[in-house]
Amino acid sequence: MAAPDLRSDLDLTLDELQQLLQLAADVKRAPGRFSTALQGQALSLLFEKPSLRTRLTFELAIQQLGGYAVTSIGMIGDREPLKDMARNLDRWTQGIVARVFAQSTIEGLAEWSRVPVINALSDLYHPCQALADVQTIQERFGRFEGLKLAYVGDGNNVAHSLMLTAGRLGMHVAVATPTGYEPNAAIVAQARAHGAAITVTNAAAEAAKGAAAVYTDVWASMGQEAEAEERKRIFAPYQVNSALMAHAAPDAIFLHCLPAKRDQEVTDSVMESSQSAIFDQAENRLHAQKALLLMLLK
């Protein structure tokens, strides 16, 4: 690989991203073939933010590949300098997975560690989620070229990773947000510089028009609780409901990284509809992360 870490989506080249998706499909189809691939290897899991899907899928992924995980919950660098923590962990384990508040924490771990560091979520990126998302889209449609992905809501870390990952694979990524909540302009420019077709708009219906997949996330992420009530008012026109889904392609799927606040950013009826692929996404976190671990640690 071009880089030993997954700090952001661009640490995977386009060729590596395509190889990873093929490997994820192979792992999903025949998990027994890989059951000893990482035998004896250990993975450090560091969580500044609570997690269901990320923690369980990484723990299961390394265990089902023959290794094991050690999990630590708490602020990274709170009791000792981050550079000291990183240089302890790389003496004991073969990889570090970190779910953090600030991207600078990921960068610091990668700078000081001699083993691969995987960004399991930061304020700027959510690359592991995007890998599962594109695997889910590929399973449903068999391709990326010519498809549109509409992301509606807050222009956050999930939106950033979708632009960098789905966009590089050939999807047209349309992001619709309220004014003032657009995705990071530098990351939009970065995605476009890598050949991605990106539309940023304040019109949800425009983004959803003809989309093969309509995606949303919570309106207030962890750390934004003080803004929750104001955001509910501002984001109300961006709810994914049956009316918005009607603008998408007839065979469109609904995606959400979960957890969801039902009847806020998305209606319960959309989440429970035949178009919903949210639990396929959640399952694919396991398979995509197995493929990632195989590429980084083997």
Catalytic residues: 99, 126, 129, 217, 257, 285
Measured between alpha carbons, how far is 244 from 246 in angstroms, rounded to an integer?
Answer: 5
Largest CA distance in the chain: 54
Going by C-alpha positions, the residue among 84, 130, 92, 133 that lies closest to residue 111 is 84
Nearest to 270 by CA among 242, 250, 298: 242
Whole-number Å distance between alpha carbons of 157 and 4 = 21
C-alpha span between 108 and 111 (Å, rounded): 5
Closest CA to 161 of 111, 86, 215: 215
Residue 9 main-chain phi, psi, to 5 deg: -60, -30
Residue 175: closest CA among 284, 276, 184: 184
Q: Which of 225, 234, 184, 226 is nearest to 204 (CA)?
A: 234
Q: What are residue 98's DSSP bridge partners?
A: 46, 119
